[in-house]
Structure 1
């Protein structure tokens, strides 16, 4: 065998060992990531193959790349590729795959809840939104809505909730009224 053929064979063997090592290090976390996000094993394999190609191109490029943790780097590439794949796949998903009745029922429930929240008044609605939806701490609620302290803001929030509860009681509404 000629020296050139031996070098080529050695290079092929080295590449195989390189890729096998990467598979052992990083395929399992990538497959778990894809599976947790609704992907199949075949999709995980495809994503990982693309990840390896990108990684190999990066490593063999003329640019010097300092990669500290190969596994984390590969997982990062795979996450980005999966997100791109998922976004592209969602755009092409037909509408008949969705449970339209469930979506309509959910919207009706939301509309009913909003209606009863609105009966408490605009200020209460804003206060409850800031606390529950925007996750504003009570101290910041007090400042934003002009209360003298956190205790006053807490009492105001409680009174707003009581207004909504009273409206629901007055109309003799039950939990089932919101989910039917």
Structure 2
């Protein structure tokens, strides 16, 4: 019996599959491009675990751009992934105060599509900053608001379940309390956001 070979997908097919959440596409992206990132990071003061973390974050950046419909590639997908991974690793090295970076040969000798990667990276960093601010704001919110909002938005409890859990007289009172908590959270978040 012959083993069936997986088709080699084009960059466009990979991006379409990524947008659809295809596990096969994720596997193919990993098989194709992770070794290049592993080599780059391990030759620049990193470990295999560092490479896995950086590669996963680069794929998240790519996924967010694809899902948001804002990715316009002006280079090969391989180059884009390398460029994002490289930028993420350089940032991490700077945070560790280690700057000895040796580039491997650029994929296919292409330009890094610098401005595109810079813009995508800035978008990703801003989103991370906002998530961190939201987590801090939620932590400062206090009880019972924090638990109520987590139950509704993260645990997906119904208003009736929240009414019973918190001992409200009815679901309308629970909704009113959720609204007040949400407004407090927004005030905390935006006061932090403006300061930073």
**Structures share fold, TM-score greater than 0.5:** no
Report the TM-score when normalising by structure 1.
0.43
Larger Rg: 1
Report the TM-score when normalising by structure 2.
0.40
